[in-house]
């Protein structure tokens, strides 16, 4: 619908001919259908994979354990054969759906072995083995859905490994805390890798988006450290982990195109997010709600600025909403003594006015920029 | 290029699974099984998902030399850096246990690393019998068949309740 309206507007303005409008409509509709098929197939595959795990978890007693394993191996072999055939002959969406089912079934089968032989269940070992065995299978995926499922699976394994590091020795609490940031940075590194971008462009796109989303969530959560910081932040290993993540940030920032204004701001966003994620946890301080609010708003202002310079309207809207919600929370936080409430309301009001003023200026410029961009992108 | 890679991609999970099964089968056939007494880990809630959560109730006898020791000279708790040395008594009796350094297990009838024995341990049970088994574990003397791999990893076999396999008590 939105596309139809835009095409009609552009045709009326004489920017494109009727034939060009039809061509664009046909192309976009086809793209939409393919994406929908891949998305639905991925969803069906994921549902079946989770179903397999659930059936194993039920530990159905009627079939003896070794027979269950035999049946499981046969199903895996048949499914594997199907994946190979589908990868050769297509359709691609079905190959991806079958791969997702095999991915889930492999995890369920590892759990089944643990169940039949009462292996006790070390989730880290099981997830690590699963990720290792299914690495080539998932690396052959062709859709965004399978890439997302794979990356989340790898990150889940990593997350469990971090909890193990925490349990192994309390000295490593700090390292485990700091290493949480390695997951989004790893996704960003995959997304920015020239090799991955050339060979698996969809995987690169998904990894980069996931990495950014997680990096911002982590940074936003880090600002809560100004309220109360965990004791793990005092440990030397936390500093080691923070330094490593800073090195990763510098590496990523170095690879961004300096001539692109959006990429230039992205560098500041990467660094700003690192500061928001790690500084409140590493510096000793008391409860400073205002610092928490200001660091959050500064972070999301950088997000909005990056979105604005890259022409990402949706991200700009989300960033605006995030700042608005945070300001709302500030209003609730300031209710205390009369002096606190007064100062808090005045500060909150000033911040809100400042934000509205900045936004109204930027927004007009953004709208102008978007129109120029849209006019430039119209096929001749 | 794609064909060999996609073949490898689907064969690898199968091979991995076969490896796990072979390892587990070999551990079970090691013929050094012991029946170790167990008790529920948390008396208020013995069932976690579809598994029983338990802790080993070792019959500590003889001098232990590793980990923190209680006033009676027996281990106050399992120490993940130590090993449990088992001395066989009879087929139906739980073995005597000592906690020793892992380098001093030569004279033991069997030995297990302490780390994987740390509570809570899990015994997977069928969904439909889980609640019944939880009740039985409270009322009966429970033990579990444990064999030890060459590197001291425990492999679990049958769950026994009052000296009988649990399936005999639960029924069909």
Which pLDDT value is given to residue A269?
92
Percent of chain B with pLDDT over 70: 88
Which pLDDT value is given to residue B26?
82
Q: Is the pLDDT of residue A129 over 90?
A: yes
The count of other CB atoms within 10 Å of the CB of residue A91 is 12
Kindly report which listed range (A22-36, A166-180, A302-316) carries the lowest average pLDDT score.
A22-36
Which pLDDT value is given to residue A166?
58
Which pLDDT value is given to residue A31?
58
- Give the model confidence (pLDDT) of A252-300 as tens digits: 988 777 677 778 888 899 999 999 999 888 877 677 778 888 899 899 9
Which pLDDT value is given to residue A275?
93
Predicted confidence band at B11 (pLDDT cuts at 50, 70, 90)?
Answer: very high
Backbone angles phi, psi at B96, to 5 degrees: -75, 150
Contact state of A69 with B10 under an 8 Å Cβ cutoff: no
Using a CB–CB cut-off of 8 Å, the residues of B that contact A are 2-3, 5-18, 20-21, 24-25, 27-28, 49-51, 116, 121-129, 154-157
Q: What is the mean pLDDT of residues A142-162?
A: 90
Q: Is the pLDDT of residue A371 over 90?
A: no
Q: Cα A86 to chain center, whole Å?
A: 29
Predicted confidence band at A204 (pLDDT cuts at 50, 70, 90)?
Answer: very high
Flag whether the pTM goes above 0.80: no
Q: What is the mean pLDDT of residues A211-232?
A: 88
The runs of H, that is alpha helices, within A169-235 are: 173-178, 182-192, 194-199, 201-222
Contact state of B16 with A88 under an 8 Å Cβ cutoff: no
- For chain B, the maximum distance between any two Cα atoms, rounded to a whole number of angstroms, is 68
Q: What is the mean pLDDT of residues A293-309?
A: 88
Q: Which of A241-255, A319-333, B62-76 has the highest mean pLDDT?
A: A241-255
Decide: helix, strand or coil at residue A185.
helix
Percent of chain A with pLDDT over 70: 81
Which pLDDT value is given to residue A246?
93
Top pLDDT among B39 and A261 is at: B39
Kindly report which listed range (A218-222, A280-284, B101-105) carries the lowest average pLDDT score.
A280-284
Predicted confidence band at A379 (pLDDT cuts at 50, 70, 90)?
Answer: very low
CA distance B17 to A72: 10
- Give the model confidence (pLDDT) of A46-101 as tens digits: 777 677 666 666 656 666 778 888 888 888 898 899 888 888 887 878 888 889 88
Q: Which of A78, A120, A130, A139 to mutate: most B Cβ within 10 Å?
A: A120
CA distance A106 to B30: 27
Which pLDDT value is given to residue A380?
39
A131 neighbors A159 (Cβ within 8 angstroms): no
Using a CB–CB cut-off of 8 Å, the residues of A that contact B are 57-61, 69, 72-73, 76-77, 79-81, 83-84, 87-88, 102, 106, 109-110, 113-122, 129, 132-137, 139-140
- Give the model confidence (pLDDT) of B145-169 as tens digits: 888 877 888 888 888 888 888 888 7
Q: Which residues of A touch B11 (CB under 8 A)?
A: 80
Which pLDDT value is given to residue B84?
93
Q: Is the pLDDT of residue A352 over 90?
A: no
Q: What is the mean pLDDT of residues B72-82?
A: 84
pLDDT, mean over chain A:
81
Q: Is the pLDDT of residue A128 over 90?
A: yes
Contact state of B129 with A61 under an 8 Å Cβ cutoff: yes
Contact state of A80 with B10 under an 8 Å Cβ cutoff: yes
Which pLDDT value is given to residue A217?
94
Q: Is the pLDDT of residue A37 over 80?
A: no
Decide: helix, strand or coil at residue A153.
helix
The runs of H, that is alpha helices, within B29-148 are: 130-139
Chain position carrying tokens 């199903």: A75
CA distance A338 to A66: 72
Our CA-based measurement puts residue A156 at a distance from the nearest CA of chain B, in whole angstroms, of 19
- Give the model confidence (pLDDT) of A169-187 as tens digits: 556 778 888 888 999 999 9
Which pLDDT value is given to residue A244?
93
Q: Cα A263 to chain center, whole Å?
A: 19
Write the DSSP symbol of residue A379.
Answer: -
CA distance A196 to A255: 14
Predicted confidence band at A365 (pLDDT cuts at 50, 70, 90)?
Answer: low
A223 neighbors A279 (Cβ within 8 angstroms): no
Q: Is the pLDDT of residue A377 over 50?
A: no
Percent of chain B with pLDDT over 90: 9
Top pLDDT among B121 and A276 is at: A276
Q: What is the mean pLDDT of residues B50-67?
A: 84
Contact state of B13 with A59 under an 8 Å Cβ cutoff: no
Q: What is the mean pLDDT of residues B43-48?
A: 57
CA distance A269 to A274: 8
Kindly report which listed range (A215-229, A268-282, B48-62) carries the lowest average pLDDT score.
B48-62
């Amino acid at each position: 619908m939105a596309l139809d309206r835009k095409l009609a507007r552009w045709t009326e303005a004489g920017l494109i001919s009727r034939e060009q409008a039809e061509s664009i409509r046909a192309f976009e509709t086809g793209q939409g259908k393919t994406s929908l098929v891949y998305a639905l197939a991925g969803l069906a595959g994921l549902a079946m994979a989770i179903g397999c795990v659930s059936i194993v978890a039920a530990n159905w007693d009627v079939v003896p354990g070794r027979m269950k394993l035999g049946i499981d191996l046969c199903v895996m072999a048949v499914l594997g054969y199907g994946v190979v055939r589908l990868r050769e002959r297509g359709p691609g969406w079905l190959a991806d759906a079958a791969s997702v089912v095999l991915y889930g079934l492999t995890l369920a089968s590892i759990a089944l072995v643990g169940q039949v032989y009462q292996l006790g269940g070390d989730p880290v070992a099981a997830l690590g083995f699963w990720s290792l065995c299914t690495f080539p299978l998932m690396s052959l995926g062709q859709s965004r859905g399978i890439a997302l499922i794979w990356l989340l699976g790898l990150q889940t394994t990593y997350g469990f490994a971090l909890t193990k590091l925490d349990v192994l020795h309390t000295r490593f609490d700090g390292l485990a805390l700091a290493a949480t940031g390695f997951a989004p940075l790893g996704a960003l590194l995959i997304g920015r890798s020239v090799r991955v971008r050339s060979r698996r462009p969809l995987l690169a796109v998904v990894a980069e988006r996931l990495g950014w989303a997680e990096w911002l969530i982590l940074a936003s959560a880090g600002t809560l450290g100004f309220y109360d910081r965990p004791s793990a932040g005092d440990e030397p290993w936390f500093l080691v982990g923070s330094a490593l993540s800073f090195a990763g940030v510098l590496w990523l920032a170095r690879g961004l195109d300096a001539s692109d204004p959006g990429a230039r701001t992205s560098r500041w966003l990467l660094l700003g997010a690192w500061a928001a994620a790690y500084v409140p946890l590493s510096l000793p301080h008391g409860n400073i709600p205002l610092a928490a609010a200001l660091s959050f708003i500064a972070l999301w202002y950088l997000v909005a600025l990056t979105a604005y310079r890259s022409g990402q309207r949706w991200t700009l809207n989300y960033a605006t909403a995030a700042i608005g919600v945070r300001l709302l929370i500030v209003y609730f936080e300031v209710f205390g003594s009369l002096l606190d409430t007064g100062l808090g309301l005045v500060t909150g009001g000033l911040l809100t006015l400042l934000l509205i003023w900045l936004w109204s200026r930027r927004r007009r410029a953004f709208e102008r920029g978007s129109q120029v961009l849209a006019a430039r992108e119209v096929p001749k | 290029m794609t064909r060999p890679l996609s073949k490898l991609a689907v064969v690898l999970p199968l091979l991995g699974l076969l490896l796990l099964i072979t390892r587990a089968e070999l551990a079970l056939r090691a013929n050094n099984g012991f029946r170790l007494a167990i008790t529920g880990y948390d008396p208020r809630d013995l069932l976690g998902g579809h598994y029983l959560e338990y802790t080993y109730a070792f019959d500590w006898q003889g001098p232990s030399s590793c980990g923190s020791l209680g006033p009676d000279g027996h281990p106050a708790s399992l120490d993940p850096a130590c090993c449990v040395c088992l001395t066989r008594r009879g087929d139906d009796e739980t073995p005597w246990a000592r906690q020793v350094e892992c380098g001093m297990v030569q004279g033991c009838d069997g030995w297990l690393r302490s780390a994987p024995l740390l509570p809570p341990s899990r015994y997977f049970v069928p969904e439909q019998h889980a609640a019944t088994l939880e009740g039985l574990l409270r009322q009966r003397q429970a033990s579990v068949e444990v064999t030890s791999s060459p590197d001291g990893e425990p492999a679990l076999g049958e769950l026994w309740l009052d000296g009988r396999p649990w399936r005999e008590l639960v029924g069909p």
